[in-house]
Amino acid sequence: MEFLIDAFKNAFFLIVSLDKELLEIITLSLKVSLTALFFASLFGIPFGAFLGLKNFLGKTVILILLNTGMGLPPVVVGLFLYMLFSRSGPLGFLQLLYTPTAMIIAQFILAFPIVTALTQSAIVKVDPIIKLTARTLGATPFQVALTVIKEARYGIVAGVIAGLGRVMAEVGAILIVGGNIAGYTRVITTTIALETDKGNFELALALGIILLIISFIINISFYIIQKRGIPPNIAWL
């Protein structure tokens, strides 16, 4: 029990004193995850909107694949990327293994299906009358799409936040492709995974607390935005 109290005390001290290593790890975590999210949104939102607006042959297959993608086990993603990027693999010449870039790629793969699927879902939930109204007000097909996306904005942002929540919490993928190299590929989750039993317990604990706080903030944002996104009921309809 005393061990725990001491550990918490030391962990809090690390946080409050803005320990250099702690900040380095948190900064790298945010850099990697936010960059991955950026690209996941850059490709996922338009693709999700496209899926929500258009019907085409094979669309069901893609939707099923996306849903599978949402539940991809991170370690499996890590494993496949490892096979791809290792020197014995087809993309070994890129020398991406054990770099932050590989981590960003891994997290992109994890976040993309979430952003896409939730965007598609948000788009589909938009009342069809909106599309028609936009058209009758003279919007080009592209403008119609943008208008629908704008109407679905809360749902889309919620999707992006959900993606962020997933990648900030995962460890399997980035541990395998990143290698937890100090100051280079060591992030919050990988530190907790590998440093806990190595006498770096206070650091791991401090990071655990920070991650919980980040997670909490992410979830609150998600909740608020989802709530805001539900438009006030049109009573007279």
| Contacting residues toward other proteins, per CB under 8 A | 86-88, 95, 97-98, 127, 129-130, 132-140, 143, 147, 150-151, 179-184, 186, 194-195, 198-199, 231-232, 234, 236-237
Nearer to other proteins, 32 or 97 (CB): 97
What is the Cα–Cα distance from 48 to 29, expressed in whole angstroms? 26
Nearer to other proteins, 40 or 188 (CB): 188
* Smallest gap from residue 135 Cβ to other proteins (A): 7
* Smallest gap from residue 101 Cβ to other proteins (A): 14
* Smallest gap from residue 134 Cβ to other proteins (A): 8
Distances (CA, A) of 222 to 97, 156, 159: 33, 11, 8
* Smallest gap from residue 82 Cβ to other proteins (A): 9
Nearer to other proteins, 58 or 138 (CB): 138
Nearer to other proteins, 184 or 216 (CB): 184
Distances (CA, A) of 41 to 31, 44, 109: 15, 5, 11
* Smallest gap from residue 67 Cβ to other proteins (A): 27
Nearer to other proteins, 152 or 168 (CB): 152
* Smallest gap from residue 180 Cβ to other proteins (A): 6
Nearer to other proteins, 3 or 20 (CB): 20
